[in-house]
Structure 1
Amino acid sequence: MVADAGLAAPYGDRRGITYDWQWRTGARGTWYGTGDAWTIHKGACNYGYLYPDEPLGWDIAAMSDVNREYPDSCGLCYELACDNTWVPDNLGAWFDRTSACFDQSASVVVRVTDACAAGTVIILTCRSVWAFEKLAETKWGVIPLRYRPVPCDYKPGRQAKPIAHPSPGDSPPQGASRIARDWPEFMQDTTLKALSLYEDGYASGVSDASTKTWIQSQADSARSGAAGSAAVCGKVPIGGILAFRGWNGMFDKRKLVEFWLYVGNPGYEGKDQKTPDLWGGCKPSRVLNNKPTYYEPTYPYGTYYFWGWQVYLPVFAGWPDNSVTSQYSNFQGCGGNSVWDLNTVEFRNDGWSEQWVCVDRVRLA
């Protein structure tokens, strides 16, 4: 959606994010969610049905998938305001929107829950119809925007109000149940930043602990990661382990492990490997049993993809795959070990054939 949002690195870790509070201009917004065969409840972030009484409700947005801030954007929030000016369509035409806004001084906060296939459009957001119609009539289709990243619990000084008769929405699917969210508002400690184990290189205090595995040299894998960054790549035979070893206690006050795997085009590579098994005999969990959270090409407009997973640590202590928790206190260790005894993240091949694997952006959050 935006070209430079001023977020602190590592972008998207949802903890300790800083904001410069400066408005940006030049963005444009469209809408979706009702009457157009698209739903806000099947987004790329895999949040499922969004209940209108959850934080921010149906005020959501989809990030342009060619924007440099698209990776890791799920769950983050932006403040949007309508801007009475002309807007381009990137095909040479311009649209007059100098009188489209209800109130240029009013704004709405939206949460990123989806991706927006935007072609070559860099500065763009697809928003839910409910957010759009607070700023302008839907007949305009596309409007210019001012925008800035904000905390998800931020309240604008002048909030854009719902219209008298908002567009109707979808009811929850039969049998649907509410799930815990990994949204910033639910973090126990918003000052604790994500701990990077590998991101464009091994973090300080972290080393390779792989066994029975051939690891490609870092020189050869320097551009094998997501968006052309470095990655750890290697051949993992049956029974082999690709592992990252840190220090005892690094899992304390952590809720999840995040990692990115090369999945190729069109299918998986390394499909039989496991998600990380924590050292000490914890319960492993298959990659294919967990829904990916992020998607990113290996280079702009590329078709060879890395997918990102977030696996919540209680899964390794026996919780079902795809479980989500907002409380780090739900993980106190596994495999007979306390959280202070664990120091390694492992990718094991318990399948039936040798696997070529590339791993990037391994983090604890």
Structure 2
Amino acid sequence: MRGLYMAAALAALLCTGRAAAQADAPLIQGESGGWRQGRATFYGGPERFLQNFPDRGPPPEYGFGDALFGSCGYTQQNYTEGVTYDNVPFPKESLAALANVDVDFPGSCGRCYEVRCKNGLVLANGTQIFNTTQGYSLPAHAPNATDDYGRHWLGNPTEDLQEQSVLCWNQSSLFVVVTDNCPCIQTDPNTGAVTGTNSPCCGNIYHMDLSYWGFEQLAHPLNGIMMTEFRPVSCDTHQPLQFNPGFINSTIYGDKVETGWAWFPYKQNTDNFWLPGAGIGGSNATCIELGPKAGGLTFASRKAAQSGYQPFGQASAVEFWLKDKNGSSTIPDITVGAGNYDDKKYCSSLKTSSLTPVQRQGIYAQFSIPISSFQCPFDKSQITQVGFQNADGQLVSFCLDDIKIVGSGGSGGQVSASSVQTGRRLKTAA
């Protein structure tokens, strides 16, 4: 996440310290569908609300952070247009971040959850009740601040006991897609030096950051934090899925970036998260134009090299369809590579000009590259990313579709693309 989090504002309220081992979020007894107990804060928000707290930080974020830019890359749209909530591919209320100590954090990009507010006391990191007298209290600074619907805070029934309680609006639920992460330990992106601790994202309680607009659908944002009930769901159908914990789709890009995969364009002139009608059979494709500075497009599954995930663990090949974005029948000459995203280690790469297409469909060409073709300085089960780069530093525009891992991956977290369809297209972003 960029900027500070709402969680950081509440950090003094919670136990400090680095991440402890977190057990599975407890199941809620008597509930069908695999509901589990968690906790949520929020980040981002409209200046109309945030400006009530000028002592927290400078405008326009006022120390609340920005949900617009996420570590999964999905919100990094065409930089020539600028990035606003109007051109990100998901509604702003559905943007969410998982704490990177959550047990199902690996491969969480693109995963969808159903979340609802839980009335009552809020837990700090541990079993103690959240104490309202420590840290920054939003109601103490602006008790009459209204949310985007003009609603006032419902108050805290246990305020006299100095305990945090939340009154939810109702028991309706919110569907969110993971576009970001809430790091326990904050570091400088340039030097890697530790700059702080995000206490709510370090605890032994399952935690997620909702966007301000998602949080306010469940409870008033002046609460700042609430207990939740949540479950993983299919982004397409909203049907409950097994917690596992977590899963990574063996299809990396189908009609969209699939569950488990981040999408990172870099040094690009233009790009499209999905371009309607540009894919095989008129489906979506992801397209990019790269100038002479040798940029590229990377698909990565974060923290997925560990046992239980390993999307390339037993893979035999990676397949994809490629075409010239501008309609030429000439196959773009690009470089295809693999690597370990978190360790920043990379395998050797191959040019498409050195490969023979498996088949053609119109101007699309399908390639199948054996995993053995990538020479890696580590075991190939540790591959967690595949990248497509400008091969020769010349202007190149191309579209990719149906990027798949052939062969089953690791144990536990894997599901096939046919059994789970994820990343439901909530809004078209051209």
Give TM class, smaller chain: 0.3 to 0.5
Q: With structure 2 as the length reference, what TM-score do the two structures score?
A: 0.41
